[in-house]
Structure 1
Amino acid sequence: MTDQVIDVTGLRRSYAGGFEAVRGISFTVGRGELFALLGTNGAGKTSTVELLEGLAQPAGGTVRVLGHDPYRERDAVRPRIGVMLQEGGFPSELTVTETARMWAGCTSGARPVHEALEAVGLAGRGGVRVKQLSGGEKRRLDLAMALIGDPEVLFLDEPTTGLDAEGRRETWNLVRALRERGTTVLLTTHYLEEAEQLADRLAILHEGRIATAGSVADVVASQPSHISFELPEGYLPGDLPPLAQLGVNGHDMAGRRMRLRTTELQRAATGLLMWAERAGVELRGLDVRAASLEEAFLRIAQDANKEIPQGTGNQGTDKETVA
């Protein structure tokens, strides 16, 4: 069997009125990999995931999940995938256990109901009606039903929305355990820390296109680190060592506060501190901050009216492939 469990080429999706939500994106997801789709509201994440789940037919391009077209060959795909939508929509008057039994009855090869509920921490809430669950508990129920068929491929659309910090980390641990068992996971999330913690690779969508893609480390490395400090009294920027020799790519000033940008954080920080030691001065308010996924995400969001950066991801039909 192919190691590419999800294979997307030139995918497009349009809505009534001519709005194109997905504009020719391409990527692959390998077996046992967790791939995260990020993007601002309206970037095309959910529209993309619905095409992968077979809930709609693409306007263009191709989708293959487990070697099949998920829309035209739904019978071959559906028993092997699990889907957690942004909102499950289960009947509010049913209890948690009744909901799980109903869902298990519609699922091929369903695991025992108590096992599915226990996995997400709902074993003690089986007699509670769905309408009485908290928002976080409803998300746990959604996840339990996505897992009840022990899927090969799991689609998680904003899985931890509404969960408290403890619940979010418990969900992360569950997802990690699934991945270790070989489950392929495609995740959409607004929580950048979640993507950093879980994803093997990710893609950031912007206006229906992939703006950048790769491993978390690769995406983060595309952004500069920052060093900021208050310039010592009596000193001017020209009194510092030549910034280029420190590996600094650029800087700006706000009053006496100086902010340096660098892709060589250790070199720049070491050189700056050695200069301060020799000069016998204190760099007040020193803040050394490594590049982050948040900065990469915000940079793309801020460039909304600019051309999507070239060479940082895949566009058109160029694929971001498994390393």
Structure 2
Amino acid sequence: MTWTPDLIPDQQGRTFVVTGAYGGLGQVVTSTLAARGATVVMACRDLDRARAFAQNTDGDIVVERLDLADLESVRQFADRLGELDVLINNAGLMNIPFARTADGFEMQFGVNHLGHFALTGLLLDRIADRVVSVSSISHKWIRALYIDDLQFERRRYSRSGAYAQSKLATLMFARELQHRLDRAGSPTRSYAVHPGVAPTGLVARTGTPLDLVAEPFIGLVGQSRASAARSLLFAATDRDADPATYWGPTRLLHTRGPVAATPSSSLSRDHALRQRLWEESERATGISYPIAPTATGTVHEAH
């Protein structure tokens, strides 16, 4: 049976935090969960846009400031937050000109991966159910992860390469988090998903003439935002979803279609490399996760 948002059970009494909730897929996820009775915390950098959307959307919606390009903002946000059920790491940047975050990280890697890594670590002991991290089919565009130069300090910068690196890191982070949760015997789960291709607004921020035609073109070849958000909503709400599965659209080279298991690169399944990325992410952010391994626990092997 094809999964649709109509299958989402009642979410009364549950709290979801959605990063980047005021645009693209975040709007769909926020409005859908709020309509099912959830309390949704919109974690956003642009408070004006977030509040404008919240005011015109039915449901229990809270707007909080979060700038993933600034670790101090991440810490302040985490300090303000109470208990929650689900964290959806949705915010992202794509193919932008070279820039650095407030902490000196390459911007796409800093926002898409390190900001979410820090946020998840700071909130983990308050997350009752699961973490959903949004990767991309673009994670397969690169053949190597340069652990010793993740910030493009010695390599020539590539917009698409930096984006692909950040989304590979997101996928590897989600899998390594699940591995560590399993070893700790924790009931909390970690999911990796991708939305396929949709006109979410990401591709129109490159600062090049491409911005004028990118969104209309994506609209023709991809799927709607509502359809693209299904993988996020499925992983965030389905009680039986397997955390070892990379969930996403399954048709037309995985750019569109029903949500099911989708393939990922062999690089994303390299456990030793995942561990190295984790260690480097802890070093860069200064965030250590409150996960202690136990002698028991079922390990979900990624596929």
TM-score, length basis structure 1:
0.27
Larger Rg: 1
More helix, by proportion = 2
TM-score, length basis structure 2:
0.28
